[in-house]
């Protein structure tokens, strides 16, 4: 399983697996020994309580996004109280055999079916990568830092701290006439129609350089935090166009940055980012890039460009002569 899975993705997988197990056991029992489920008496109530708890988690994940941020804690608490009352009443009725024996398998099958459906829906919305990045990127791309050299040009934060700029030592083969090359076009191999390419491969800048140098240089991830601190960036929960998205791994290290390009109703956000040192630039949903968490930042300075750099007339496009 990919280490960058979010708690929601784990929850959907657990719900799907549990519901599928219950469905297979109940259906198999009914087909092979139908009388067995009628005499289980109260021993099945713990399983029902677990199903109810997982169901409430799936409902919370499904509907939390439609509530405004100020109303989500109240919705969560209400659903938690409802889950406790439902589990408690279920335990009471089952322990005292108030529920008819012939109804128990129907209740289990119905709950398991609902949980299974919600789990399938959740997974379909997760954009979980079913690949390892190393399968698509060659060793030279994974070790792209070895191809960097320090530039003579320097940039500065608003507080005067120097930000090192890097350029590539050599130019890897990245031709538009070879779109099947997985070393450069691995995102398109992996995600297909979920990406819209906005610029061809260019080894002269990375995702950090795209945001903070307008695609003119390569930046180290360690410098991104300094830029956020010195240039007046602050975290926002409702992104707007031109906000910066910063992606973090499970250790809190910055792994990727993007620019918000569009927002819409129901929490819709579209971002643009550079994928890899030698890759292209794409429009995509923010959750498509694998990470432990993502944070939106905003600054009132008017531009993300570092001091000491001239605005680029156009983002550079690199095509190696052949």
Give the tens place of pLDDT for each residue, 253-269.
899 999 999 999 988 99
Task: Over range 16-24, report the average pLDDT.
Answer: 80
Statement to judge: residues 150 and 111 lie in one domain = no
Domain, as residue range, for 166: 134-298
- pLDDT at res. 134: 40
| Of the residues 124, 143, 159, the one at which a domain ends | 124
On whether residue 270 sits in a domain, the answer given is yes
Most confident of 129-138, 147-156, 294-303: 294-303
Alpha helices, H only, 33-174? 45-63, 72-95, 104-124, 139-142
Statement to judge: residues 154 and 272 lie in one domain = yes
Confidence category of residue 175, pLDDT binned at 50, 70, 90: very low
Statement to judge: residues 82 and 206 lie in one domain = no
Statement to judge: residues 84 and 223 lie in one domain = no
Residue 253 CA to residue 197 CA, distance in Å, equals 27
- pLDDT at res. 186: 75
Statement to judge: residues 152 and 290 lie in one domain = yes
Statement to judge: residues 204 and 116 lie in one domain = no
Its pTM stands at: 0.54
> Are 142 and 56 a contacting pair, CB within 8 Å?
no
On whether residue 313 sits in a domain, the answer given is no
| Of the residues 97, 124, 151, the one at which a domain ends | 124
> How many residues can be counted in the chain?
322
- pLDDT at res. 238: 93
The rounded radius of gyration (Å) of the Cα atoms in the chain is: 26
User: Helix crossing, 45-63 with 72-95: angle to 10°?
Assistant: 160
Strands 254-263 and 281-284, bridge-based pairing: unpaired
Residue 299 CA to residue 177 CA, distance in Å, equals 39
- pLDDT at res. 172: 52
Q: Which pLDDT tens digit goes with each residue over 159-174?
A: 888 999 998 876 554 4
Statement to judge: residues 79 and 42 lie in one domain = yes
Kindly tell me if the per-residue pLDDT of 287 is higher than 70: yes
Residue 146 CA to residue 53 CA, distance in Å, equals 50
Task: Over range 218-226, report the average pLDDT.
Answer: 91
- pLDDT at res. 13: 79
On whether residue 182 sits in a domain, the answer given is yes
On whether residue 319 sits in a domain, the answer given is no
On whether residue 311 sits in a domain, the answer given is no
Kindly tell me if the per-residue pLDDT of 77 is higher than 60: yes
User: Helix crossing, 7-32 with 45-63: angle to 10°?
Assistant: 140
Most confident of 19-28, 80-89, 273-282: 273-282
Kindly tell me if the per-residue pLDDT of 217 is higher than 90: yes
Statement to judge: residues 227 and 284 lie in one domain = yes
On whether residue 228 sits in a domain, the answer given is yes
Statement to judge: residues 215 and 68 lie in one domain = no
Task: Over range 169-180, report the average pLDDT.
Answer: 52
- pLDDT at res. 95: 63
Q: Which pLDDT tens digit goes with each residue over 39-55?
A: 455 456 677 777 777 87
Confidence category of residue 8, pLDDT binned at 50, 70, 90: low
- pLDDT at res. 233: 94
On whether residue 265 sits in a domain, the answer given is yes
Statement to judge: residues 116 and 144 lie in one domain = no
On whether residue 253 sits in a domain, the answer given is yes
Q: Which pLDDT tens digit goes with each residue over 230-245?
A: 999 999 999 999 999 9
Kindly tell me if the per-residue pLDDT of 124 is higher than 70: no
Kindly tell me if the per-residue pLDDT of 65 is higher than 60: no
> Are 107 and 99 a contacting pair, CB within 8 Å?
yes
Statement to judge: residues 141 and 50 lie in one domain = no
| Of the residues 73, 94, 124, the one at which a domain ends | 124
How many domains does one find in the chain? 2
Mean pLDDT taken over the chain:
75
Statement to judge: residues 209 and 181 lie in one domain = yes
Contacts of 147 (CB under 8 A, 6+ apart): 140, 168, 169, 170, 172, 203, 277
Kindly tell me if the per-residue pLDDT of 122 is higher than 90: no
């Amino acid at each position: 399983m990919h280490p960058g899975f979010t708690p929601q993705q784990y929850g959907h997988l657990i719900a799907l697996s549990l519901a599928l197990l219950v469905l297979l056991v109940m259906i198999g029992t009914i087909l092979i020994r139908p009388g067995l489920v009628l005499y289980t008496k109260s021993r099945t109530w713990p399983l029902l309580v677990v199903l109810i708890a997982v169901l409430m988690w799936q409902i919370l994940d499904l509907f939390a996004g439609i509530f405004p941020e100020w109303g989500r804690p109240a919705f969560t608490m209400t659903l938690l109280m409802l889950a406790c009352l439902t589990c408690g009443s279920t335990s009471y009725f089952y322990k005292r055999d108030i529920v008819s024996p012939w109804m128990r398998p129907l209740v289990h099958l119905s709950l398991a079916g609902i949980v299974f459906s919600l789990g399938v829906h959740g997974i379909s919305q997760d954009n979980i990568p079913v690949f390892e990045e190393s399968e698509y990127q060659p060793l030279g791309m994974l070790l792209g830092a070895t191809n960097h050299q320090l530039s003579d040009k320097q940039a500065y934060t608003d507080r005067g701290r120097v930000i090192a700029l890097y350029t590539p030592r050599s130019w890897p083969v990245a031709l538009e006439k070879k779109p099947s090359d997985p070393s450069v076009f691995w995102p398109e191999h992996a995600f297909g129609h979920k990406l819209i390419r906005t610029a061809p491969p260019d080894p002269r800048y990375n995702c950090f350089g795209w945001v903070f140098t307008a695609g003119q240089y390569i930046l180290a991830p360690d410098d991104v935090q300094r830029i956020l601190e010195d240039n007046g960036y602050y975290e926002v929960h409702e992104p707007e166009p031109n906000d910066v998205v910063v992606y973090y791994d499970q250790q809190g290290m910055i792994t990727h940055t993007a620019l918000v390009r569009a927002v819409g109703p129901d929490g819709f956000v579209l971002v643009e980012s550079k994928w890899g040192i030698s890759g292209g630039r794409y429009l995509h949903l923010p959750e498509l890039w694998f990470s432990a968490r993502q944070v939106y930042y905003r600054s009132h300075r008017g531009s993300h460009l570092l001091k000491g750099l001239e605005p680029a007339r156009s983002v550079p496009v690199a095509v190696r002569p052949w």
